[in-house]
Amino acid sequence: MTAAAEQGGRGAATARDVGRALRSAESLNAVLHWSQELLDAEGARVDAMAAPGSLAGMPIAVKDNIVTVEQPTTCASRILEGYVSPYTATAVNRLRDAGAIVAAKTNLDEFAMGSSTEHSAWGRVKHPLDPDRVPGGSSGGSAALVAAGVVPAALGSETGGSVRQPASFCGVVGVKPSYGRVSRYGLVAFGSSLDAISVFGRTVDHASRVLAAMSGPDPLDATTVDRPPMRVPEPLPDLRGLRIGLPQEYFPDDLHPGVAAAMERVKDRIRELGAELREVSLPHSAYAVPTYYIVAPAEAAANLARYDGVRYGPRKVGPEGDFRAVYRATRGEGFGPEVRRRILVGTYVLSAGYYDAYYTKAQQARALIADDFRRGFDSGLDFLLTPTTPTPAFRAGEKTEDPVAMYLADIFVCAVNLSGLPALSLPVGRSEGLPVGAQLIAPFFGEERLLAAAATLERVIAADAEVR
Amino acid sequence: MAWETVIGLEVHVQLRTRTKMFCACRTSFGDPPNSNVCPVCLGLPGALPVPNAEAIRLAARAAMALGCTVHETSVFARKNYFYPDLPKGYQISQFDRPLATGGSVAFESPERGRVEVGITRLHVEEDAGKLLHDRFPAKTAVDLNRAGIPLAEIVSEPDLRSPAEARAYLTTLRQILVYAGVSECSMEQGSLRVDANLSIRRAGDTRLGTKTEVKNMNSFANVERALEAERARQAALVEAGERVHQVTLLFNAGTGQLKPIRSKQESHDYRYFPDPDLPPLVLAPGWIAEQRAALPELPDARRSRLERSFGIPAYDARVITSEAPLAGYFEAVVAAGVEPKTAANWVMGDVMTSFNEAGSFPVPAARLAALVGLVRDGVVSHQAAKRVYGEMAQLSDGDPRAVAERLGLVQVSDQGALAGWVDEVLSAHPAEVARFRGGETKLMGFFVGQVMKRSQGKADPKGVQPVLQTRLK
């Protein structure tokens, strides 16, 4: 039997199964675009492939801020309503070449700005375990689909924790690669120096395989790093010889008790596997959130300037009738309140007279935050272990009126983006039925060891078990 | 009141690349609107810029030709503003860390002799698109073929002191950039654009006056005209006791008028910051040295070398080196054995005329050298040689002797034939013969001229005189 025949019809069958699962998960509002027709075409395409790749037949959902020619790409924003990209993102092309089936485009916080997937122009995404709660964000749609078992893996994007945080809330694996490991070509830019296409997986292995397939330099993205693609690592027999740092700033006294208990259990398992745990300090991580909320909006303000109604997207004409009126009306009506807030902040921190006080200061803080990590790894640490989030998933509406409270949901994940490091969130237990995630952070381009260690840990942790 | 004019120029030149600054779109001029566009230069969601290495090379070369220091590290920055011809809502440029700084251009000022103008900086950036207002009634169209075209912006110090001097500087700058092979520098095709800053002050003042910016000048002559107009406008204002306001003015070449477009008070805050899509541009010292070594000889150096090694007059050297191909042609003609001054005369005459018409050399240097050889050997006269050259240019080749023979321009030195023409002339002018014989020997020139005329220029003048002498004894 030829390889193709051996695989025959698997894609088509998967396409039908995924279609059924998508229909039954409709109430989550996790999906913005999908059709059975496109799914079937994807299945047929994979079945027709001469050599089944490393992802042969794996259905993968894609966050709707990653462009694909088959479906619209809206970033959950009215300003891109109906927009269809004439080209496909490098990462998606690579997954399809490896045999993956693009299953659906998933809901998100508008332009990936948010931590709960409540800021979508097409309504909030519901947590698969509790519809009154949020799945986290901004990649909440992708997280929810993986958690609901609709797809084994999904693409999200991170600017400040937008995959690890929802992975933690939803009880799935979330991996953010090193900056420059995966091409950003085709990822709609939010904060370009922070943005990273990232992965959700039902297991570490799913996430590893997807990440490996799309990693590697891309001539279309000048910020990709010229190193060979990642390989899928084998789990280790144990964690002997590894030194794992526990940054004290990430274990505050007021940490949610369920999260604290889950972390204690993880530490026990790590010790049992033979690794050494060591308390360390990352003093500048305290500035991560404020630093992030200067750098990211500054870049966003410029990145979102292109949505002006001139070349694509719905164009609104203001009463004055001149082109400035087009800008005002198109952007005023097209962007939601959170996006407008960040554009205003970003414009402000870059404006003459404020640049040094904000942007320059933030860049200095960013360098100090990254230095903390470098020092830690230089001192012999292999990884850092922290909780991914301060609490399990919160209730919908709980933080929408208080942007700062919302921003603090990312307090443990932001510093990693500012430093460009790879990190992941691993489900490590449940608190009152809600998943809790632990974060492992690795040195730059240390993904293979990071994923190997996570896979090892994954085998000994009962992620679905209550911790107290 | 004596006013001193202070002018600084910002010159944008299009770098001579096949593709755009940050994408693979073609840079060709005059294609149908929006035919050379892609996701990157359209600013589509998710698209990213990748720098064009050839553009960087040409910009570095331009900087070296202008004596600038090329920095090992420079940084691309986003210049933020909204305009329908700017697809991303920002232009990728360079701001506080430009590619190169601190050069100079020496040129011949019409008023002050040799002048050196400081070059503040040279940086790389992308061009914007173009708004077309006359394409559809009551609508504005956007053509993005130009969006992303690679440019070098060359900023001069405020070292120029008159509109005529500004023009002379531009002529020299253009010459250097064309020599260096970095740009076509054609204002008609938009590959060279000039913005000028002008202020006036009392002669002797050291403080600068309030400057205005003048834009939209489509030729060097119009730069001079526009700056003349602006100088006069400012002087009139100040003399009337008013103040000059910081404005940007558009020059209308048709009316010669300047029209303000916006005052600086409401000017943009461009909110420059480093472009996170582009890592700092790092050039290895070895690469910079290589580029420096590959720099061709520049007009100034070539001029003095031609003067020195060929002994031609300074004026000739200046004319011949005004364009690199002309100087190259001159050197080829000399190398083919022609005496330098003779070669210079040819190049400044018929050669330059045909080069300016055709943009190339219809007669190869070796053929011209052969033609000059025919003159030297008395085969054709100088006058006849010019006709032979014209014919060769038409044919765009042809052996000069064959052409001269075909045109019947080969000089006749055959004694019999010469004697025939001489006899005809002498018998037609008995009075002059008598006067000559009576001692008016200066009539010899007259007889030679008459023989040449009668022979239709074919008689060899050197052979005519001995025959005349014999017959007039």
**In this model, does residue B147 exceed pLDDT 70?**
yes
In a domain, A467, yes or no: no
pTM for the model:
0.91
**In this model, does residue B400 exceed pLDDT 80?**
yes
Residues B331 and B436 in one domain: no
Distance CA A331, CA A328 (A): 6
- Look at residue B397 in the predicted model and tell me its pLDDT: 63
Q: pLDDT tens digits for B355-392?
A: 998 888 999 999 999 999 999 888 888 888 998 999 99
In a domain, B329, yes or no: yes
* Most confident of the following: A341-355, B353-367, B369-383, B416-430: A341-355
**In this model, does residue A83 exceed pLDDT 60?**
yes
User: What are the chain A neighbours of B273 within 8 Å (beta carbons)?
Assistant: 298, 302, 350, 355, 359
Instruction: Give the structural domain span for B388.
Output: 299-406
The DSSP secondary structure of A197-256, one letter per residue, reads EEEEESSHHHHHHHHHHHBS--TT-TTS--SPPP-PPPPPS--TT-EEEEEGGGS-TTS-
Say if CB B225 and CB B252 are below 8 A apart: no
Residues B189 and B105 in one domain: yes
Instruction: Give the structural domain span for A9.
Output: 3-214
Percent share of chain A, pLDDT over 70 = 98
In a domain, A252, yes or no: no
CATH number where B453 lies:
1.10.10.410
Strand extents, DSSP E, B244-344: 247-252, 257-263, 273-274, 281-282
Q: Beta partners for B469? A: none
User: What are the chain A neighbours of B89 within 8 Å (beta carbons)?
Assistant: 302, 304-306, 308
Kindly report which listed range (B16-20, B126-130, B156-160, B390-394) carries the lowest average pLDDT score: B390-394
- CB contact (8 A) between residue A359 and residue B44: no
* pLDDT (average), residues A75-94: 98
Say if CB A364 and CB A415 are below 8 A apart: no
* pLDDT (average), residues B44-68: 98
- Look at residue A266 in the predicted model and tell me its pLDDT: 97
Kindly report which listed range (A183-187, B109-113, B354-358, B407-411) carries the lowest average pLDDT score: B407-411
DSSP state of A125: P
Domain boundary among B247, B282, B317: B282
* pLDDT (average), residues B146-164: 98
- Look at residue A103 in the predicted model and tell me its pLDDT: 95
The strand pair at A153-158 and A59-63 is best described as parallel
Residues B107 and B231 in one domain: yes
A297 to A290, B96, B357, B429, B436: CA distances (angstroms): 11, 22, 57, 101, 102
Task: Read off the tokens for B374.
Answer: 């025919």
Residues B380 and B442 in one domain: no
Nearest to A220 among B43, B50, B88 (CB): B50
Residues B174 and B208 in one domain: yes
**In this model, does residue B406 exceed pLDDT 90?**
no
Residues B384 and B420 in one domain: no
Residues B243 and B312 in one domain: no
Mean pLDDT of chain B: 93
CATH number where A8 lies:
3.90.1300.10
Confidence of residue B396 (pLDDT cuts 50, 70, 90): low
- Look at residue A9 in the predicted model and tell me its pLDDT: 66
Q: pLDDT tens digits for A171-222?
A: 999 999 999 999 999 999 999 999 999 999 999 999 999 999 999 999 999 9
Residues B166 and B305 in one domain: no
Percent share of chain A, pLDDT over 90 = 93
Q: Which residue has the tokens 């949610």?
A: A256
* pLDDT (average), residues A160-178: 98
Nearest to A305 among B44, B80, B142 (CB): B80
- Coil, strand or helix: which one is A441? strand
- Look at residue B295 in the predicted model and tell me its pLDDT: 95
In a domain, B291, yes or no: no
Select from B277, B278, B281 the residue whose CB has the most chain A CBs within 10 Å, as the one to mutate to test that interface. B277
In a domain, A154, yes or no: yes
Strand extents, DSSP E, B297-367: none
Q: pLDDT tens digits for B236-277?
A: 999 999 999 999 999 999 999 999 986 544 567 999 999 999
Domain count, chain A: 1
- Look at residue A321 in the predicted model and tell me its pLDDT: 74
Q: CA of A296 to nearest chain B CA: how many angstroms apart?
A: 11
Confidence of residue A39 (pLDDT cuts 50, 70, 90): very high
Residues B195 and B98 in one domain: yes
Q: Beta partners for A156? A: A198
**In this model, does residue B180 exceed pLDDT 70?**
yes
- Look at residue B378 in the predicted model and tell me its pLDDT: 81
**How many CB pairs lie under 8 A apart between chains A and B?**
103
In a domain, B304, yes or no: yes
**In this model, does residue A8 exceed pLDDT 60?**
no
The DSSP secondary structure of B399-431, one letter per residue, reads -HHHHHHHTT-SPB--HHHHHHHHHHHHHH-HH
Say if CB B32 and CB B161 are below 8 A apart: no
Select from B20, B25, B48, B142 the residue whose CB has the most chain A CBs within 10 Å, as the one to mutate to test that interface. B48
User: What are the chain A neighbours of B275 within 8 Å (beta carbons)?
Assistant: 192
**In this model, does residue A6 exceed pLDDT 70?**
no
- CB contact (8 A) between residue A302 and residue B90: yes
Residues B200 and B266 in one domain: yes
Nearest to B45 among A67, A219, A351 (CB): A67
In a domain, A191, yes or no: yes
Residues B390 and B433 in one domain: no
Confidence of residue A3 (pLDDT cuts 50, 70, 90): very low
In a domain, B163, yes or no: yes
In a domain, B294, yes or no: no
In a domain, A115, yes or no: yes
Active site residues of A: 63, 138, 162
Q: pLDDT tens digits for B87-108?
A: 999 999 999 999 999 999 999 9
- CB contact (8 A) between residue A80 and residue B78: no
Residues B200 and B275 in one domain: yes
Q: Is the ipTM of this complex over 0.90?
A: yes
Domain count, chain B: 3
Kindly report which listed range (A84-88, A300-304, B154-158, B408-412) carries the lowest average pLDDT score: B408-412
In a domain, A103, yes or no: yes
Asked whether the CA dihedral B397, B402, B405, B406 is positive or negative, the reply is: negative
Confidence of residue B344 (pLDDT cuts 50, 70, 90): very high
